[in-house]
Each structure stands twice: as C-alpha cells, then as structure tokens.
C-alpha cells in the first residue's frame, strides 16, 4: 500500500535545501493508465460491459487485455465490427460508471505534481487514451489543468515517441533536464528515442516489473515516495 508524502521535503540526501524554483528548466512527462492511477480495472469493466450488451458475449480479462495494443476505437471495431458505432456511446457510459473502481490517483502523486509545477517544473501528459475517456478520467481524478501539454489517442510507441518530442520542443528544455514516467516497456523505449530520462513506474498492482527491468530504465520506482526522492535529487542537478 502506498503512503502519501505530499511531495514536500525540507532537505534532500545531499544536504541541499529543497523546494527552490527551477524556473521552467526541467520537464516531467507522464503516462496515465497504471502510472497516475490504477485505471486498468475501469478499462476492463467498460469494454466487457459494452461488448456484452452489443454482442452478447462476455469477454474475460485476458481476452480484453490481448486487444490493448490498439486504441479504444480500434478495440471496439475489432471486437464488434458490425456494431462498433453503436458501441461508442455505451462505452463512454460504462467507462464513467466503472470509474468508481478507481476513485483517486495513487496516493501522494498529484500533491507531488502540484508542488513541482509550483516550483516551475513543466508538466506534460502522453497517453494512448482517447479524448472522451481522458476527459472523464481527468474530471474523476482531479487532474484538470494540471498539465501544460497533453497528447492522446494512440497506444502506438511511435506516436508516443513523436508526442514526447513535440512536448519537449514546446517546453524548450534540454534532454538531460527532461524525463518521462510510464509503466510499460514501450514507455521506456519512447523516452530513450528522445534522449531523456526513462523512469519506470512499478507501483501499480498490474505493473510487469521484470519486463520493465529488461528495458534498463534510468530508474525503477516502486512507490510514489521513491519518485519524490528521485525528483528532488534530479532537480538538485541545476544547483551550483
């Protein structure tokens, strides 16, 4: 179980005072599903209920997860090719209903991000979620207005890598002062292709830790407090 740190430190391990402004010279980009919140049960429930209603077949978790290499629209198109358009409004309704399974982000994470933004760290989000479900999750998880730049709508690693590059250009930060935090091996590869720090979020119950380790991230983080500690050290690199 994760504990909440609030993202606040008085002193880091080097003895330097923490909490100083970094004036926009650092950027932290994040994935959403499994990184900011444990939304996988929401996605599984919404897809299962939608397909059961429109096709009469109840899919298992494994059957649904086998389709997660596609975006939400493609999942419905492949699973219900004759009625996928009718599935769309049902899916959004079921996604909203199922979000009760994930009422909040991982403890301490949003507080940490707000603290970092107040200090001048640029925040971006890169996710494969579609616009409508992302809007639901933003509202339900209290993420509205937290991120300066958001890219969404495709799980393709090539798109994630391109979107990360777009946000880095918009932020005008150096590669060594940028990092992407995600819970999937593809997130690590997308970070590497942009020459930025690759942070592996391994705190979700669904995290595939061994697969993350095989990608050799810059750091494997097993809790939000570990992230807070690492970020404080990282921001300290800008100090004389």
In a domain, 135, yes or no: yes
- Same domain for 204 and 137: yes
In a domain, 34, yes or no: yes
| Residue partners of 81: CB distance under 8 A and separation at least 6 | none
- Same domain for 209 and 170: yes
- Same domain for 233 and 149: yes
Q: Which of 65, 81, 101 is the last residue of a domain?
A: 101
Q: Residue 72's domain spans which residues?
A: 40-101
In a domain, 4, yes or no: no
To the nearest 10 degrees (0 to 180), the angle between helices 72-79 and 40-55 is 30
- Same domain for 163 and 138: yes
- Same domain for 181 and 68: no
In a domain, 45, yes or no: yes
Residue numbers in the chain where pLDDT is lower than 70: 1-24, 69, 155-157, 238-240
- In the chain, beta strands by DSSP E: 27-30, 122-126, 149-151, 178-182, 197-201, 219-221
- Same domain for 114 and 58: no
- Same domain for 215 and 114: yes
- Same domain for 109 and 174: yes
In a domain, 21, yes or no: no
CATH number of domain containing 119: 3.40.50.1000
pLDDT of residue 5: 27
SS3 content of the chain, % helix, strand, coil (to 5): 50, 10, 40
pLDDT of residue 72: 84
- Same domain for 79 and 120: no
In a domain, 17, yes or no: no
- Same domain for 164 and 55: no
- Same domain for 34 and 50: no
- Same domain for 172 and 79: no
Residue where the block lists tokens 């429930």 = 45
Q: Which of 52, 84, 101 is the last residue of a domain?
A: 101
The pTM (predicted TM-score) of the whole model is: 0.86
Q: Which of 101, 124, 142 is the last residue of a domain?
A: 101
- How many domains would you assign to the chain? 2
Helix (H) or strand (E) holding 55, with range, is helix 40-55
SS3 state of residue 75: helix
In a domain, 5, yes or no: no
């Amino acid at each position: 179980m994760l504990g909440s740190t609030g993202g606040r430190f008085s002193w880091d391990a080097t003895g330097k005072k923490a909490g100083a402004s970094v004036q926009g010279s650092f950027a932290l980009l994040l994935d959403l599903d499994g990184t900011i919140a444990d939304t996988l049960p929401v996605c599984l429930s919404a897809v299962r209920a939608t397909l059961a209603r429109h096709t009469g077949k109840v899919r298992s978790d494994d059957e649904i997860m086998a389709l997660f290499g596609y975006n939400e629209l493609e999942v419905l198109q492949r699973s219900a090719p004759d009625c996928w358009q009718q599935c769309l409004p049902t899916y959004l309704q079921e996604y909203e209903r199922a979000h009760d399974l994930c009422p909040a982000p991982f403890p301490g994470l949003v507080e940490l991000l707000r603290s970092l933004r107040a200090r001048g760290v640029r925040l971006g989000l890169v996710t494969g979620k579609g616009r409508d479900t992302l809007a639901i999750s933003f509202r339900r998880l209290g993420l509205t207005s937290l991120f300066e730049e958001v890219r969404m709508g495709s799980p393709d690693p090539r798109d994630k890598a391109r979107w990360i590059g777009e946000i880095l250009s918009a932020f005008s930060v150096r590669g060594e002062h940028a990092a992407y935090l995600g819970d999937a091996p593809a997130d690590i590869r997308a970070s590497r292709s942009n020459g930025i720090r690759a942070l592996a979020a391994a705190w979700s119950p669904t995290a595939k830790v061994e697969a993350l380790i095989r990608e050799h991230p810059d750091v494997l983080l097993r809790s939000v407090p570990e992230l807070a500690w690492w970020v404080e050290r990282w921001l300290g690199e800008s100090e004389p």
